[in-house]
């Protein structure tokens, strides 16, 4: 599988057959990252009312679009283009400066090329036991690692220590492009791990197979598409 990080919470995952999924596409002017010019078979969004996580309309072509929040509200299981998706409801940060009322969103997971992928959506509060259990057995966790505006790092680490994902790919942290005041740089998240458990891709696309999965949790820090 190829995994590309566009920035923020947006990734493209492409399996060995060429089937592809884009997660949580953003409004470029809102987050500062480059427009997403690649197409996909399926676009997954964590809500339909947050321009940093829901801009499926900006993805080229005519992809199938699945809202994880709708999936969560409909019992937790959905499908798009043959891709089975499971989701659980979550709430964004209660003190979000841009929203008078905290928005609801969906955290979601799916499987491609034998890898169990989990995306944390835009959750902004400590996870309940059920929400933590939702991430059990995931191989790749796309994790909210910036603290401010999303889940606090101690609450994130509580879930990580409990479910022990094989590989964590951080997202939604401060970069030279995305830099809201108080959002943390990646070092704050990495401070929770031993140095020899952290890898740096130095690229915006990586290849990953089940054979690459480690015996213990490792972090893969990716670059973003310029």
DSSP string, 127-181: PPHHHHHHTTT-SEEEEE-SBTTS--HHHHHHHHHHH--SEEEEES-B-SS---T
User: What is the dihedral sign for C-alpha 139, 144, 89, 53?
Assistant: negative
Q: Select from 3.60.15.10, 3.30.470.30, 3.40.50.300, 3.30.300.20 the CATH code of 2-221.
A: 3.60.15.10
pLDDT band at 97 (very low <50, low <70, confident <90, very high): low
pLDDT digits (tens, 9 = 90+) for 106-136: 999 999 999 999 999 999 999 999 999 999 9
Share above pLDDT 90 across residues of the chain, in percent, rounded to a whole number? 92
pTM for this structure? Answer: 0.95
Burial-class residue 94 by CB neighbours within 10 Å (0-12, 13-18, 19+).
exposed
pLDDT band at 102 (very low <50, low <70, confident <90, very high): low
pLDDT at residue 54, as a whole number: 97
Other Cβ atoms closer than 10 A to 187: 9
pLDDT digits (tens, 9 = 90+) for 142-191: 999 999 889 999 999 999 999 999 999 999 999 999 999 899 999 999 99
User: What is the dihedral sign for C-alpha 76, 139, 7, 124?
Assistant: positive
Residue 107 CA to residue 123 CA, distance in Å, equals 7
Query: Which range among 1-10, 26-35, 98-107 shows the weakest confidence by mean pLDDT?
Result: 98-107
Burial-class residue 182 by CB neighbours within 10 Å (0-12, 13-18, 19+).
exposed
Residue 46 tokens, joined:
């964590």
Residue 198 tokens, joined:
């952290």
Domains of the chain: which residue ranges?
2-221
Q: Phi and psi (nearest 5°) for 47?
A: -165, 175
The arithmetic mean of pLDDT across residues 79-105, rounded, is 84
């Amino acid at each position: 599988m190829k995994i590309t990080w566009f920035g923020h919470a947006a990734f493209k995952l492409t399996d060995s057959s060429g089937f592809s999924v884009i997660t949580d596409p953003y409004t470029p002017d809102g987050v500062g990252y480059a427009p997403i010019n690649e197409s996909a078979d399926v676009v997954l969004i964590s809500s339909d009312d947050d321009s940093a996580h829901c801009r499926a309309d900006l993805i080229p072509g005519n992809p199938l679009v699945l809202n994880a929040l709708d999936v969560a509200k409909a019992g937790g299981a959905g499908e798009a283009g043959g891709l089975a998706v499971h989701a659980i409801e979550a709430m964004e940060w209660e003190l979000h400066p841009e929203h008078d009322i905290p928005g609801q969103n969906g955290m979601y997971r799916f499987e491609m090329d034998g890898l169990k992928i989990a995306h944390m959506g835009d959750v902004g509060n400590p996870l309940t036991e059920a929400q933590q259990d939702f991430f059990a057995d995931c191989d790749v966790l796309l994790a909210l690692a910036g603290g401010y505006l999303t889940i606090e790092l101690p609450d994130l680490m509580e879930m990580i220590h409990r479910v022990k994902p094989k590989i964590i790919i951080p997202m939604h942290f401060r970069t030279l492009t995305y830099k809201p005041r108080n959002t943390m740089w990646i070092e704050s998240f990495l401070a929770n791990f031993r140095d020899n458990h952290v890898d740096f891709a130095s690229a915006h696309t990586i290849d990953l197979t089940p054979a690459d999965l480690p015996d213990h949790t490792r972090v893969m820090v990716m670059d973003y598409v310029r």
